Amino acid sequence: MTMTRRDFVSGAAALATPFVGGRAVAAPLPREADVVVIGAGAAGIAAARRIAAANRKVIVVEATGQIGGRCLTDTAAFGVPFDRGARWMYNPETNPLVRLAPKIRIGRRNARAGETEEFLAALVRANRAIDDASRGRADQSCASVVPRDLGDWAGTAEFVLGANFGGKDLKDIAVGDKSRAQERNAAFACRQGLGMLIAKLGGQIPLSLSTPATRVNWNNREVAVETPAGRIVARAAIITVSSNVLTAGSIKFTPDLPKRQLDAAAKLSLGSYDHIALQLPGNPFGLGRDDIFIEQSNSTRTGLLAANIGGSSVCSVDVAGSFGRDLSAQGEKAMVAFAIEWLTKLFGTDAAAAVKKSSATGWNAAPFALGAMSAASPGGQQSRKILGEPVGSLFLAGEASHETLWGTVEGAWESGERAADAALRKIGALREPEAPARPLPKRGRQAGPDRWR
């Protein structure tokens, strides 16, 4: 039941009937299970589907009232699907910069061909410097190695490679993490919302909504998960909460989680990424469906515009990194004011008069998320592998534990499947993978490590 790009696309196309608000009918909380999954985001749903496919008893407990975690589709605010969290899925066929390059604003005009080439060249130089630095021993910050002579494109490159990519400024992202991240190519969106898709995929899984796990008692043989609705005893547990929730101590562990895992989670703290959605009837800026715009900026006080999402009149100004974090802390009114000011600066039309409705996300303040996506701090890239290591009968999963697809729904999904396989092997429901057979030595040659391997 591995979720591939094709599965996502076909799943999205199958969503003919909206799964309202990502909500499902809560299952009665059982007293026992083979595996209990904490969190009904992409990683949790992927893990639960895998376990159910192995004909083992699984229950998912979710603290909020809906499936999806940081994949959340809102159909109420604007009357059309709007993803308040993760929006894009990716494939390796084309470069995302090809899509971005023709949609750069310099003042109130689009960038000319030569200016676009300058921007792409600046990005190539910055990426190359990060990749070169990642081969050294010290896992330093990306900002410390990026060329200082990027000129007018310095702020834009900082935004694209840092805040917009990982939710953090380049000074807060490890070169190893950025270099090892799989390219996020050819972004495409789910027609009825990515949150809707995850909710649909979890629709047949036994789960209990509005049921936060408060304590996990564990050893090497079993776990007991305590919730306000009761206690569940299982042979293994898969923990899919965010790295920030894990380090915040929202869930108590007895005994405590090893310092090794907690330190790893701390080095994989979540960055800030929020959407400021504006409904602009009549397309006042004359933009195309799903157009993407960035601007030439001399600072990271900027954003990314996703226009006419899915052919609707809803546009989203995305803010991220330290600027986005500071702005979101000021509240929705300040966020909307910035979005209107920014759009007016780029397109020269009074956006305030055109706005019919507005809505802004606030992931940093969401108690069961506490941020957007993980990005390793300098020196922390190896923490992803550590975070995914089994701890007794506990298995940690989520985008933060994926070494190359961190920050993506695909990474979260794959990490959930990997954790499920590990849990199934732990309880004896899945055989250990067989080691590949070693080839026989050729006749007449001495066998040894220098001859065959």
Which domain CATH number covers 57?
3.50.50.60
* Domain co-membership, 117 together with 159: yes
pLDDT of residue 93: 44
pLDDT of residue 434: 55
| Contact assessment for residue 207 and residue 58, using Cβ atoms and an 8 Å cutoff | no
* Beta pairing partners, 225: 216, 232
- For residue 228, the 8-state DSSP code is T
Do both 287 and 359 map to the same domain?
Answer: yes
Q: H-helix or E-strand containing 275?
A: strand 273-279
Q: Is 52 helix (H, G, I), strand (E, B) or coil?
A: helix
For residues 260-282, one letter each, b for 16 or more C-beta atoms within 10 angstroms of the residue's C-beta and e for the rest, the string is ebbebbebbbbbbbbbbbbbbee
Single out the residue of 24, 412, 423, 422 nearest to residue 206, CA to CA: 24
Q: Please compute, for residue 107, the number of CA atoms within 13 A of its CA located in the half-sphere on the CB side.
A: 3
Amino acid, single-letter form, for residue 43: A
- Together in a domain, 168 and 279: yes
**How high is the pLDDT of residue 267?**
98
Q: What is the pLDDT of residue 381?
A: 82
**What's the pLDDT at 452?**
23
Domain region containing 309: 91-186+271-365
pLDDT at 5: 41
* The pLDDT value given to residue 137: 74
In this prediction, residue 28 carries a pLDDT of 72
Beta bridge partners of 291: 307
Do both 265 and 121 map to the same domain?
Answer: no
Does residue 158 sit in the same domain as residue 279? Answer: yes
Beta-bridge partners for 35: 58, 236
Handedness of CA 25, 42, 305, 352 (dihedral sign): positive
Please tell me the predicted confidence (pLDDT) of residue 139. Answer: 86
**How far is it, in rounded angstroms, from Cα 418 to Cα 205?**
18
Domain of 328: which CATH number?
Answer: 3.90.660.10
98, exposed or middle or buried, with CB in 10 Å at 0-12, 13-18, 19+? Answer: exposed
In angstroms, the CA 34 to CA 26 distance is 19
Number of domains in the chain: 2
In this structure, the answer to whether residues 159 and 282 fall within a common structural domain is yes
CB 373 within 8 A of CB 407: yes
Tokens 């390059």 belong to: 101
Asked whether residue 263 falls in the same domain as residue 211, the answer is: yes
Tens-level pLDDT at each residue, the chain (453 residues) = 344 444 443 444 333 333 334 444 455 799 999 999 999 999 999 999 999 999 999 999 999 999 999 999 999 999 999 899 988 765 434 333 334 344 899 999 999 989 999 999 999 999 999 999 999 877 899 999 999 999 999 999 999 999 999 999 999 999 999 999 977 655 556 667 888 989 999 988 999 999 999 999 999 999 999 999 999 999 999 999 999 999 999 999 999 999 999 999 999 999 999 999 999 999 999 999 999 999 999 888 999 999 999 999 999 999 999 999 999 999 999 999 999 999 999 998 888 899 999 999 999 999 999 999 999 999 898 999 999 999 999 999 999 999 999 999 999 999 999 999 999 999 999 876 655 555 544 444 333 322 222
Residue 253 shares a structural domain with residue 294? no
Considering the domain architecture, whether residues 263 and 278 belong to the same structural domain is answered as: no
Helix (H, G, I), strand (E, B) or coil at 426: helix
Whether 121 and 251 map to the same domain: the answer is no
pTM, entire model:
0.87
Q: Residues 282, 264: one domain? A: no
- Cα separation values, 140 from 129, 173, 412, Å: 12, 8, 26
